[in-house]
């Protein structure tokens, strides 16, 4: 069976796009109202390191401590609206 060149090109492009998306690194922002020295922040920072190690660096979570990304009352809405991927 012979395939037209445009079908082969489209299939190749789709395959390369899929491979690139699987290998790409994903970055998440985690809004956190607690100071960096608070045990909540220390635990979530260790969690972020563990996730990065477990995913081989494909998912990196940046912890924004001390309400530096959003103030405490704004974190829930920021996550709900997609402004931050996670919050504490």
pLDDT at residue 23, as a whole number:
56
Domain range summary for the chain, segments of one domain joined by +: 25-87
Q: Greater confidence, 62 or 7? A: 62
Residue pair 29/82 in contact by the 8 Å Cβ criterion:
no
Per-residue model confidence (pLDDT) at position 5: 47
What 8-state DSSP symbol labels residue 50? H
Looking at residue 25, its pLDDT comes to 86
- Other beta carbons within 10 angstroms of residue 31's beta carbon come to 25
Tell the residue number behind the tokens 């790409």, with chain if given.
24
pLDDT in tens, 18-66: 444 445 689 999 999 999 999 999 999 999 999 999 999 999 999 999 9
């Amino acid at each position: 069976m012979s395939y037209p060149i445009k079908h082969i090109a489209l299939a190749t492009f789709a395959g390369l796009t899929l491979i690139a998306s699987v290998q790409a690194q994903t970055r998440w922002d985690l809004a956190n109202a607690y100071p960096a020295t608070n045990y909540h922040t220390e635990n979530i920072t260790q969690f972020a390191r563990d996730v990065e190690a477990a995913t081989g660096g494909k998912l990196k979570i940046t912890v924004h401590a001390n309400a530096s990304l959003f103030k405490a009352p704004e974190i829930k809405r920021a996550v709900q609206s997609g402004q931050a991927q996670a919050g504490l």
